[in-house]
């Protein structure tokens, strides 16, 4: 059974850097085709993909946020870390950690964490 859990600060100030950690179990990020990503959802709004890291350390970012995002993995700890710099109130959202379906065809996310609400406010 795959589980993912997000952790990080519930409140950050504008201009600060957000660091979120995803702790997962039930799979290994060293296995071929494995991937872990981050998706966010502002209150009452749509899902927005942020980043994805693959088993081979290939990293993909949302074009609109690429300059502010960094995703890394620690396979020994089963952690994936996302940093988002220069936070703004519009970045207020629930941030989800997700597991990529290990397939050669496309990208989709079959397991989601419970999400963590991050509020950006002075």
Partner 1 sequence: SYELTQPHSVSVSPGQTATITCSGDKLGDKYAAWYQQKPGQSPVMIIYQDNERPLGIPERFSGSTSGNTATLTISGTQAMDEADYFCQAWDSSTDVIFGGGTKLTVL
Q: Which residues contact 114 (CB under 8 A, 6 or more apart)?
A: 5, 6
Task: Give which of 122, 99, 95, 96 is closest to 110, Cα–Cα.
Answer: 99
Under rule CB under 8 A, residue 16 binds partner 1 = no
Complex with partner 1: residue 8 or 115, whichever CB lies closer: 115
Q: How far is the CB of 71 from partner 1 (least distance, A)?
A: 13
Under rule CB under 8 A, residue 43 binds partner 1 = no
Under rule CB under 8 A, residue 85 binds partner 1 = no
d(CA 36, CA 98): 6
Under rule CB under 8 A, residue 7 binds partner 1 = no
| Count, residues near partner 1 per rule CB under 8 A | 24
d(CA 21, CA 95): 10
- One residue of 46, 58, 67, 122 binding partner 1 per CB under 8 A: 46
């Amino acid at each position: 059974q795959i589980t993912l859990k997000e952790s990080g600060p519930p409140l950050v100030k504008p201009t600060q850097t957000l660091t979120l950690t995803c702790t997962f179990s039930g799979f290994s990020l060293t296995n071929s085709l494995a991937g872990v990503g981050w998706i966010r959802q502002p209150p009452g709004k749509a899902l927005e993909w942020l980043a994805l890291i693959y088993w081979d350390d290939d990293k993909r970012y949302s074009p609109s946020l690429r300059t502010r995002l960094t995703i890394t993995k620690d396979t020994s700890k089963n952690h994936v870390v996302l940093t988002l710099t220069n936070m703004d109130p519009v970045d207020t959202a629930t941030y989800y950690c997700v597991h990529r379906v290990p397939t050669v065809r496309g990208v989709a996310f079959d397991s989601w964490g419970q999400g963590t609400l991050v509020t950006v406010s002075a």
